[in-house]
Structure 1
């Protein structure tokens, strides 16, 4: 099942999956011109949060017509870290190694299970986090009107911690989406950040305890959605609590543009800064898997000239064996190949924890939504359409493991990480529901 949201809405798609008791994955991609629950200005800001990707997307995982998990692939582990602040456990992610239980489309789920397996989280806490993630994702999807989708039947995400019936979730979330609109134009995005503009008036209106707790979040950096995550409250509850004070001008909401860009920088720093030292003593290794001699040798020549350690392999079966010895920092893989196509190669590599985070870029002469979706479904990092030029190839490689990447990480010293950790600790207070009355 696949198509455009202009032809069938998300609610109908979910109802069909429920009625058919389907097991598999739903992938939804917003058009670059629209994001969820926002106007065009905010959509532009959110789309700019990642220069390498102009779309926002989501995965929803099903078992026999019930939802078992929902993912925002753009958020990576930032979302999970926010939820862990409820239990003052966000630092637990730092030393953690993701398990091999989840697909490449659900690394967050794998980390969540690892936290429960080492008894950092209880099963009840894990279920609460997954429930919040599912509600959050459905709110975004039901606010979306323009985009594309594909549902692929497959093996269920395993193991399952919990499952949710779709119909009650749809009814509840649709009401939230409708009520959310009453806050326009003051509140128009879950990514807006509150900041106190009149301390005296707010202190008079709230108890000291509530004011002190609110002031820790109303710093112009913490989004409404993050506040909801920290407090275990849905976005509508948070919006209702602060709406009267926004109307009075006691609180203001900043644009999400700076927030999403800073979040991306923090996410990249957290994910990469611990890895940059492996590039300092040697050039990054890149494997190019392509049965076309001209393509793979040309790619090898271009990358070698730029100082990369490039290895070209024509046989996909040989490549699967070789990469476990080479342990490359990035893999370029053709899609159309004999015996094993690029999708199969990528899917096999993603089953190994060695290559769970390795950038895999698909090289193909095909272009179109279905091919891009399939590449994402099996865990591909990016997509490069043939014919491509030297500059296009180098810019893409550079964005993942190039010299500029190394320089960025070397210039981002450990103090930057420490500052981020201090910021998270400062914001971790769980002050309960904000009393708006």
Structure 2
């Protein structure tokens, strides 16, 4: 048997590395000789989501249960379009976030765990068959909410796979469901309390991963505890179907009313000065607009991509990355091709203005920041408050 650390194809690992080095935007599509498929979505060389595998709906249900206990998946009112579009699982997380039902930290956790889980399944499939892959420049997630290092995720997967294999579980998939085949023999071996739990849970309906969540254990711990019974034939691991989400009709009138409700434009300020950010925040929020501040230039691009503001104030001089560099990178992203980017600077030099225009800035605002100049910029480049901004949250309701 191949050493567990080498199960994951070196060629495939190199492909993940190449996508990172090229700052790839698009899809990495992977297929196994057994017919399984996975898709890893990239943005700027980092994995932002992954789909596919044996049980996409069960997986999504598990991660929601683990990370968002306030959401009852079975009470969601979904239409067919919600679960039939590309990246339906990620789109639902977006809707939860935009309707303030979950926080970004919860999305980050779900994303990271989903990616590692699918990489683990990929390693398992590679142990029993061949893997092929190809890249596609098709970009589905232009403004992702989470960025994950492929290198870190692969290392986590390799560590998990090594432990799983060394525990004697390499031939078992955590997507199989245990079912009790010899209840009488089990009853003679365990206490009445343990036996009752076995009968209740080991019924062939829940996969090992499902049971691990229900029992608040790691899937490794659970499977290792069941292994003696599996080897004796008391418990058998069987394949089970996925559990799709319930699709219902949503009241079209309520959807229309939600779509018509105006949402205030979001203004971002990228400036390492707390004073400038505070002044802008006071001016902008007092006029009924939303505001987000970014004082770390390194975090500017990921945060802007996540929040997708309607207008950006961008400081010219910052440590590590200048406003010129950030503006140049933003203009390379289709979602920011027309976003107003206003350069902030302490000088009013002609050279700065010319260079700012060259890198794609929309306008120029000199410091100190004053309310009338800020509002003049906002009135010039933003739609009037009476114009509704589509937040993409239609077709989803959650029963309270």
TM-score, L = length of structure 1: 0.45
Larger Rg: 2
TM-score, L = length of structure 2: 0.49
